[in-house]
Structure formats: structure tokens, C-alpha cells
Amino acid sequence: MSSRPWGALVALVIAFPTSALAITPPQARCLATMERYGLQVVTAASRGALGCVRAAERGGIVPSDCFGAGVDGRLATTLRRLRLADARWCSRDGSQRPDAGYADDATLAAAARDAAVGVVADVLGADLATVPAPTRADARCQWAVVTGATRLLRALWTEAAGIAGTRVATATRRLDDDTRAACARSTTPLASLFALPCAAVATTTDVAACAVSVARRHFQRGHGDAHALAVPCDLTDDGDANLSCVPPELEEHVLNRLGYGPDPWTLGRLRALGVRAYVGEQLHPETIADDAVDAQLAQFPSLTMPFLDLRVHYPNRVVPGQPQSGDVLKELQRAKVLRAIASHRQLEHVLTDFWFNHFNILATDRRDYDISPYERLAIRPHVLGRFRDLLLAVIRSPGMGDFLDGRRNQADAINENFSRELLELHTIGVDGGYTEADVTAVAHVFTGWKENQATADGFEFLAAWHDRSAKQVLGLALPANGGYDEGVALIDLLASHPSTATRVARKLIIRFVSENPPPRLLTAATDAYLATGGDLRAVMETILLSPEFLADPANRRSKVKRPLHLMASLARATHAEPATLNLDRVRRRVRELGEDLYGFAAPPGYPDVSGYWTGAGSMLFRFNFIELAARGADGIVPALPADVGATTTLAGPSTLAGTSDALVDALIGDLFLAPVSAATRDTAVAFADLFGSVGTPGRTAETAAVLLSSPEFLVH
């Protein structure tokens, strides 16, 4: 039997993708040898377990005895050979045993044995209660399934060991075919013939599929235990990488990237739906009810008012006690804070922030009236639609028209401000291949695109202002008298340009995955953009369901939380009741941390790189504001456990014992989903000790503040 030592190495590399395993030839030989002997244990134990099935059919055996001592008896020779092999190849001197991938022969043997027996036990019951079957046909059905599952287990183990033998694909197919053939003639309901641990066991398809997952699960667990590999719970749950088990690190990651951190609703939804379905739901915000926030937003009438109504109801005149123009911006800012903290449509909110930033405009006293409809009409409706529609809506909007002077651009008085930023920032970028002549030509194309507050989106095309001449722009020849459609044609060109696709993909990846966009993902997201004609939902799906996003630990906790995210996640983590929030104060703190909502002056918007948000000064601000918030002194009323007592938390009810250790552990359980480092925990314990004894007022809040000031909370 040929064996390739590299098979074991491959298995290890798959299990430890980010570690560089330096393995010497003697170590490789040890691993390869023990893989082979592990497989021999699996084979022998399978034979023994199947023998128990045969014996049970005849009757008169005690299944637990058979699966126990009976199988062990069968294994005796194999185990002896295994021990000898270990002595020779792995334990003779210290240089043979690798640092990872093999513990000892006893562990290996036990894991391999349990895997084999476990498959049989899962198919037909640990007590073999389903055996004997009512009819001969039923018995043949059972036999087909249990032998097929066993064969698949061996094939999986064989492939992992890099040994020639039955391939996994073949074994899977045979299990499927044999089950179908043998069980078709079965008259007894399949569910009663098997003890399979799956929800659906009604049809032969169900049975085959479940048997496959049983074999895979036992392989993952058994092979993992045998070779001291850390196999993620997702694989040991049902054998497949399907996010059936979502480790807390991934839960935290998903909720901190698709939104502003975990809260009871989003966490509950994620756990109920699983990651893929949760992402799918967030990608369709129109299906998510958001009644509580909608009710609270009703206190901000300007959010839904048409352009002209705004000027009437929020006049540019200061009358004490009456709404005025400045209130429009204030309501928009407060709504943004509220949505971040309380909305169920978290992803929509993050994307609205992202795209507003990409098409940034600045609120000033003349533009207050335009900025609220800008977000409502030009940005939010299109964040999961087509980029082309988003771009068109932005260009038509009075907000952008005023900010970059587009609305004053006319044939005999050209203004190039907008046309330059359209090319440089919004679409193809400085490297997209445009010239100064193109900048001017684009300005000419958009002459006449001006504002009219009486229309639904505040736009009108004024032909008298439009330059009727023929134009050449970015290789597109526009004949004379093209009118409004010239602009549309140009927008289509820019929206479908590969440079636009790459830039959009890159920025989204930087926001959602990593500030160093992984090349494979960048290509995939760009391709998704181009293949779907710029469908932003498709691009987001590609990004959010990518292995880089879901499975690469290097991309977790890899970004510094921006100020709004920090304060919102704090409010969410401490279960602050939305109705008790002082939204304006939170907004001011966020501004003092460097994120002036709707107040960034330059067209590119806030940079999305962690280095921008990390200055020495901002660290101290963060610590100060977190401390204020933790004791409810600053716009956020946290529902932290009282010094003595119980309260509902993210994880469920908790009570607080007195010692610093107990206090810190309870708070960690409350405030964090994923584990925190020992350093952070020790810091908090040291603080609680310094602060005072049990019962000192403020001990809980101040200790919570220290925990919330830890690096684990400041990153996402």
C-alpha cells in the first residue's frame, strides 16, 4: 500500500491555514505512519461494529457490550501493531514527534475507534433498537445505509491520509445509489428503521443525506481528536462547512460588521436563522419590520417632508419655541444616532452611512433643507439597488447640486467642480483614464441639470441652460441636441466602467472586510458588479458570504471602531432603552471624537482606515466618554446590573456575586459575545480591587467602563 507522507501534511495545512508548520522528514514519517494505522483502527472497528449489527439481527446480544468489549476484542491485534508503530516511528527519540498533528497512540486509537462505532450507532441506534427490522427488505435497506456510511467514513479518512483507496466522491455516490435501490422496496416508514439524528428522515433522499452528514461529522470529530486538530464546531456539528454552528467570534464579527454591534434582537435573529439566512434577511431590509424605531422617528417630522414643506415648517427665522431651519439638520443627526442604536435594519443603516460618505455633501445653513431629502431620496432607497440608479439620483439631487455647484452649471457659465469630483471620486477615479478635456466635457454634458423644489426629487432639466453642441467625452460621441439624455448616457457609461466597479468593490471591502482588500475577493466582488450591471445587493452578497469575511480570523477585530459605531455599540451592549437616549448628547460626543455627522467638509467623506481614527488625543476622549456613558451621565442610560441584584442581559439573567473576579466575569458575559483576553480581564479585576470593596457605589459602572475601554471593545 503506497503512502504519501504529504497527505498528512496537507491535512494539517488545511487545518492550520495561517500557521507555518515547519516539519522535518522524521516527523512527516511519524504522521504518515500514524494516519495509516489510524485508518486500520477505523477499518477494524467498523468491521466489529457491523458484526454487532449482524449479531443483533440474529438476536441475543447486548448491544452496549458488543460495541464495547466486543469491538475492543476485534481491535486487539491492530492496537498492538499501532503501539509498535508509535514506538518505532514517533516515540523512539524526541525528534520524531511533530509539534502538532499527533498526540499519542492511545488518543489516536480511541478517537478512530469511537468514530467508527459512532457512525453505526448514529445510523441504527446506540442500543440497536431498530434491529432486527420487520422485514427482509427492511433489513437490506438498513444494511445498505449502515455499510455505505461506514464506507464513506473510511474513504474520508483515507483521503485525509493521502492514501490510495476509495475516493470520497465515489463512496458518497454509492451510499446514495445503494440506499435508493435497497430502500425503495421497503414498506415500513423509513423513520422507524433508523435512529438518524436529522430532522427529516421520510424519504430515501433524506436518509442518504443524513447518513452522509453522520459520516462526515464523525470523521471531522474523530480525525480531529485523533490528530489533535482544532476542528471548528461548524464542521463537527453536521460535518459540513455550512455555518450550522456559529462560534461566538463569528457572531460578534457578523453583528459588528453588518451593524453597530450585538443587541438582543439581532443576536436572537442571527441564532435563529444562522449566518447565511441572517445575511440574506439584512440584504432585504424591506422585509424587516422596524416599528419601534419608526414610532420614535415620528417625532422628527422633517425626515419625511417634501422640499417646499420644509421651508414652510422650518423657516429660516429664529422664533423661540418654534422649529427653524437649523432643526432639520438636528433631526437628521438625531435620527442617525437613533437608527444606529435601535434599528433592526442594521445593514441598511451602515450602507446608508457608507454611500452618503462616498457621495459626501456638507450641511451648511443654506443646505440644511437639502441634506435630509438627499439621504431619504437619493441615498437610502438605492443602497441595495443598482449603482447606476444611485448615481443618477445623487446627480439630480439639490443637495449635491448645491454642494458641488452643479445646479449653477450652465452653457455659457461652466462650473467644473462637480464634473471633476464625479470622475475623480464618485466613479472611475484618478487612474480611470480621464483627461482635463473630459472634465470640461462632462461639465458641458450636465449643463441645465438644476434644482426645482416643487418637483418630487427637487430636480428639473432646464433646456435653456443646456449646451446643445455635440460632445466627446471618455470616448463617447454625443451628437448635438442630446438634451437630458446625454447625462443619462454618460451616467450609464460611468456606472458600467470597470474602474468604477473596482473602486466600488474596493471601498466596500475596506468597510466590511479588511483595510487591505484580499485580491481574490476584490476580483470576485468586481466581477459580481460587472456581471450584474452594477447590482449592489449582488456585490454585497458576494462580499458578505465570502470565506474572507466569514472564515478568516485575520479579518476579525481588524478595524478600529469609528466614533458613531463605538457609541452605538456601547448603547447596544448595555441595553440602553432607546426612549431614554439623549440623542443630541450622543451626537455631540461622536463629533468630539472626530465624526461630525453630516459635517465632513470634503467631498471624499471620512476615510475608512483605522489609522485615521486613532490619535493619541482620541484615545483619551474615548476613555472619558465611555466612562460617562457607563454611569449613565451622558445621554446613554445603560442597563447594567446593579451592584446587587439581577437584570436581563444579552445572554440571559445574571446575578452578581461580590468578589472582583465574579463581578468582572459577570460583566464580561454581559458586554461581550466573544472571549476577551486574559490581559483585559486581569485589568478589570485589578481595577475593581483598586476601586473599592463590594457595595461601593459605582463599582459596577466604573468596572464596566474599564472593560468597555479595553481594546476588544474599541475594535471590530
- Least separation in angstroms between residue 402's CB and other proteins is 10
Which of these ranges, 65-73, 259-267, 518-526, 622-630, lies near other proteins under the rule CB under 8 A?
Answer: 622-630
Establish if 620 lies at the interface with other proteins (CB under 8 A).
yes
Residue span 535-574 as binding mask against other proteins, x where in contact by CB under 8 A, dash where not: -------------------x-xxxxx--------------
- Least separation in angstroms between residue 422's CB and other proteins is 13
Query: Of 140, 174, 408, 507, which lies in the binding site for other proteins, with binding defined by CB under 8 A?
Result: 408
Query: What CA–CA distance (Å, rounded) separates 196 from 141?
Result: 14
DSSP character string of 406-449? GGG-BTTB---HHHHHIIIIISS-GGG---HHHHHHHHHHTTTE
Measured in degrees and rounded to the nearest 5, phi and psi for residue 150 equal: -65, -40
Query: Of 240, 290, 592, 661, which lies in the binding site for other proteins, with binding defined by CB under 8 A?
Result: 592
**Touching other proteins, residues 187-246 (CB under 8 A):** none
- Least separation in angstroms between residue 558's CB and other proteins is 4
Q: Name residue 696's amino acid.
A: T
Nearer to other proteins, 134 or 711 (CB): 711
Query: What CA–CA distance (Å, rounded) separates 531 from 518?
Result: 20
Number of residues in contact with other proteins under rule CB under 8 A: 62
Establish if 372 lies at the interface with other proteins (CB under 8 A).
no
The three grid cell numbers given for residue 309, joined into one nine-digit string: 414643506
Segments in 513-659 forming alpha helices (H): 519-531, 536-544, 547-550, 563-573, 583-592, 610-613, 616-630
Query: Of 226, 593, 636, 704, which lies in the binding site for other proteins, with binding defined by CB under 8 A?
Result: 593
- Least separation in angstroms between residue 634's CB and other proteins is 10
Establish if 410 lies at the interface with other proteins (CB under 8 A).
yes
- Least separation in angstroms between residue 110's CB and other proteins is 35
Query: What CA–CA distance (Å, rounded) separates 49 from 43?
Result: 10
Identify whether the C-beta of residue 281 lies closer than 8 Å to the C-beta of residue 273: yes
Query: Of 21, 414, 476, 694, which lies in the binding site for other proteins, with binding defined by CB under 8 A?
Result: 414
Identify whether the C-beta of residue 716 lies closer than 8 Å to the C-beta of residue 683: no
Establish if 711 lies at the interface with other proteins (CB under 8 A).
yes
* H or E element that contains 450: strand 449-451
The three grid cell numbers given for residue 374, joined into one nine-digit string: 438627499
Query: What CA–CA distance (Å, rounded) separates 518 from 506?
Result: 9
The three grid cell numbers given for residue 577, joined into one nine-digit string: 432603552
Nearer to other proteins, 414 or 530 (CB): 414
Query: Of 25, 59, 617, 653, which lies in the binding site for other proteins, with binding defined by CB under 8 A?
Result: 617
- Least separation in angstroms between residue 371's CB and other proteins is 18
- Least separation in angstroms between residue 298's CB and other proteins is 34
Identify whether the C-beta of residue 641 lies closer than 8 Å to the C-beta of residue 666: yes
Residue span 650-689 as binding mask against other proteins, x where in contact by CB under 8 A, dash where not: ---------------------------x-xx--xx-xx--
The three grid cell numbers given for residue 364, joined into one nine-digit string: 451648511
- Least separation in angstroms between residue 67's CB and other proteins is 45
Query: What CA–CA distance (Å, rounded) separates 603 from 423?
Result: 12
Distance of CA 689 to the CA centre of its chain: 37
Query: Of 217, 631, 637, 664, which lies in the binding site for other proteins, with binding defined by CB under 8 A?
Result: 631
Query: What CA–CA distance (Å, rounded) separates 371 from 336?
Result: 13
- Secondary structure of 273-321 in HEC code, one letter for each residue: HHHHHHHHHHCCHHHCCCHHHHHHHCCCHHHHCCHHHHHHHCCCCCCCC
- Least separation in angstroms between residue 701's CB and other proteins is 9
The three grid cell numbers given for residue 254, joined into one nine-digit string: 457578523
> What contacts 24+ positions apart, CB below 8 Å, involve 49-54?
49/116, 49/117, 49/119, 49/120, 49/121, 49/150, 50/120, 50/146, 50/147, 50/150, 52/120, 52/128, 53/120, 53/124, 53/128, 53/131, 53/142, 53/143, 53/146
Nearer to other proteins, 109 or 629 (CB): 629
- Least separation in angstroms between residue 427's CB and other proteins is 14
Residue span 430-459 as binding mask against other proteins, x where in contact by CB under 8 A, dash where not: x-----x-----------------------
- Least separation in angstroms between residue 550's CB and other proteins is 16
Establish if 507 lies at the interface with other proteins (CB under 8 A).
no
> Which residues contact other proteins (rule: CB under 8 A)?
405, 408-410, 412-417, 420, 424, 430, 436, 554, 556-560, 592-594, 601-602, 604, 610-621, 623-624, 627-628, 631, 677, 679-680, 683-684, 686-687, 690-691, 698, 702, 705-706, 709-712, 714-715
